Amino acid sequence: MMRNQYDLNFKKSIVSKGLEIGNMTAVARQHELDPKMVLRWARELKRKDIDQLDGDGKKQPKYVPTAEDYAQLEKELERMKKLYAE
């Protein structure tokens, strides 16, 4: 089953309609959307600086380890193995 991906402009319009009438659930049902999803959009848009978002961005992971990070973890793993092997 494919998940629908909605662009930021669509999410903004749905959330603004919900805020305008004061009922996110009703707006979600009008557009045949899950009310929980629309409420989540509202929370997410409230937390972010909406003006800086361009509508094309995907949700990015907060931390992406680099090769250097992996090398450091390998060294630490080896050190821990030696420490506990004694």
* Rounded-to-integer distance, Cα 72 and Cα 77, Å: 9
Share of the chain above pLDDT 70, in %: 79
Over residues 10-20, mean pLDDT: 90
Would residue 74 count as lying in a domain? no
Would residue 40 count as lying in a domain? yes
Over residues 31-56, mean pLDDT: 78
* Rounded-to-integer distance, Cα 13 and Cα 55, Å: 12
Give the domain range for residue 31.
Answer: 1-56
When divided into structural domains, the chain yields a total of 1
Residue with the larger pLDDT of the pair 29 and 53: 29
Would residue 81 count as lying in a domain? no
Would residue 85 count as lying in a domain? no
Over residues 13-34, mean pLDDT: 91
